[in-house]
Amino acid sequence: MRRVRYDSPGGPLFLEEVPVPEPGPGELLVRCQSVGVTLPMVRKVTEAAEPVPLGGEIAGEVVAVGAEVTRFRTGDRVTGLCFGHGYADYAPLHEAMASPVPADASAADAVALVRSGLVALGALDAARPEPGESALVTAAASGVGQLAVRLARARGAIRVVGAVSDPAKADFVRSVGADAVVVYGDDDWGEPVDYVLDAVGGDLLTPGVAALAPGGRLVAYSSGGGTIRAYDLLVGAKSVIGFQMARVAREEPKRYEEWRRELWRMFARGTLRPAVHGTFALEDAAKAHEVIASRRNLGKVLLRP
């Protein structure tokens, strides 16, 4: 089978031929039909001290199951987060991370909706939104961000602002439900909001906190780091909440599963449809990474093995 790999930090991505893996205990072997490309994985390629497996969100058909698997069998369609080599024709997926894909959804729908939707919905829940509040979403044109905009509206936000890196993304962000769009670096982000969902971090944390109304909450779910001055929180009785999906999946599986069910219910009703920027062949994984790295994507970026 084909698999994408790289040999050194920041090194070029390339295809290699390797044997099809065997599923281990508790694992499914999935014939990948769609693979999600994420900013954290793109960052790992350039920042990790040693090469790491190119894992992430996958969807496809179960072709073999390992010992101790109880919920799935061959022929099932599944999606989930692969911690091994996911940029491949076949990939291992632990049963605990897998969820079924409904018959009326494609593999691309599943990858674009489930993992990105879980992060967006989890970050939104962490903000404890109330109907009638206002929201600001950073990275609003990303795979997670565009779903966060839609979900904030569905949870009763009366005003949703999208923050983006490029004004060329404004029309797209409005098309997914934002009332207004601001650009990183703008001096004025408009009226203060009740909560901010921040997927960027770094230098954007300071303007994110400044955009909050008194008593407002910022949910930080970025791998981008950053520092916030305590005074900026004290002066307006503001708060910052950290959110990490891996912790919820590991420690609160019932909550994690209910979020998955909610996303599929909204999909079935037609109230939540993820946007896909583009789909790349496996051999073009480097081009997909470049789209993410340059922040040009409008929605989810996918690979199609």
pLDDT (tens digit per residue) in 69-80: 999 999 999 999
- Please, where in the chain does CATH 3.40.50.720 lie? 117-245
Q: Mind listing the pLDDT tens digit for each residue in 238-265? A: 999 999 988 888 899 899 889 999 999 9
Helix, strand, or coil (residue 299): strand
Mean pLDDT over 116-124 rounds to 95
What pLDDT, on the 0 to 100 scale, is given for residue 245?
86
As assigned by CATH, the class of the 2-101+275-304 domain is alpha beta
Q: CA-CA distance, 221 to 213, in Å (whole number)?
A: 20
Mean pLDDT over 92-101 rounds to 92
Mean pLDDT over 113-130 rounds to 95
- pLDDT confidence of 126, banded at 50, 70, 90? very high
- Please, where in the chain does CATH 3.90.180.10 lie? 2-101+275-304
What pLDDT, on the 0 to 100 scale, is given for residue 237?
97
Is the Cβ–Cβ distance between 60 and 32 less than 8 Å?
yes
Share of the chain above pLDDT 90, in %: 89
Q: Mind listing the pLDDT tens digit for each residue in 184-203? A: 999 889 999 999 999 999 99
Mean pLDDT over 115-119 rounds to 92
Helix, strand, or coil (residue 99): strand
Q: Average pLDDT of the chain?
A: 95
Q: CA-CA distance, 155 to 135, in Å (whole number)?
A: 11
What pLDDT, on the 0 to 100 scale, is given for residue 97?
86
Long-range contacts of 283-292 (CB under 8 A, 24+ apart): 283/2, 283/15, 285/4, 285/13, 285/37, 285/54, 285/87, 286/12, 286/13, 288/37, 289/13, 289/37, 289/42, 289/45, 291/37, 292/37, 292/38, 292/39, 292/42
Domain covering 117-245 in this structure, CATH number: 3.40.50.720
Mean pLDDT over 270-288 rounds to 95
Q: Mind listing the pLDDT tens digit for each residue in 209-241? A: 999 999 999 999 987 788 999 999 999 999 999
What pLDDT, on the 0 to 100 scale, is given for residue 29?
98
Q: Residue 64: pLDDT above 90?
A: yes
Mean pLDDT over 26-48 rounds to 94
Share of the chain above pLDDT 70, in %: 100
Cα-based angle 140, 292, 147 (whole degrees, multiple of 5):
30
Question: Which tokens sit at 225?
Answer: 């780091």
Mean pLDDT over 83-92 rounds to 97
Question: Which tokens sit at 131?
Answer: 């109907």
- pLDDT confidence of 170, banded at 50, 70, 90? very high
Instruction: Tell me the CA distances in angstroms from 19 to 13, 16, 32, 58, 68, one per residue in order.
Output: 19, 10, 15, 19, 23
